[in-house]
Amino acid sequence: MGSTIAKTVGIGGIVEPSARLQWDKVDGAKGYKIYWRDTTSPTWDHSRYVGDVTEFTIEGIVIDNFFFGVAAVGEKGHESVVVFPNKIIR
């Protein structure tokens, strides 16, 4: 998989009790991992492997309180860098 990353990561969930993310499929990825952290934290404190999908909703997480990112996961478990959302989805 190398250093291939998702080019576009979208986020939605404004005024909702959940965070919605969607991203571009990455060639060679066996799945994806969503990361999130408090806006005051310097490290990714939470993560969830979501499998081979290109969108996922995290219930009960308000987007205003966290930073989010998505990493592609290769066959041997190696992860790309975490990509922050760069577009809004509705």
Which residues neighbour 72 within 8 Å (Cβ) at sequence distance 6 or greater? 1, 4, 5, 6, 26, 28, 29, 31, 32, 79, 80
- Give pLDDT tens digits for 37-55: 999 999 999 999 999 999 9
- The one-letter code for the residue type at 62 is V
Residue 47 is assigned to a structural domain of this protein: yes
Checking if the pLDDT of 83 tops 70, the result is: yes
Q: Global pTM?
A: 0.87
Q: In total, how many domains does the chain have?
A: 1
Residue 1 is assigned to a structural domain of this protein: no
Phi and psi based region of residue 78 (left: phi greater than 0; alpha: psi -120 to 50; beta: remaining)? beta
Residue 21 is assigned to a structural domain of this protein: yes
Residue 67 is assigned to a structural domain of this protein: yes
CATH number, position 58: 2.60.40.10
Domain with 68 in it: 9-88
Alpha-carbon torsion angle 41, 9, 19, 38, nearest 10? 0
- Give pLDDT tens digits for 1-32: 445 778 889 888 776 789 999 999 999 999 99
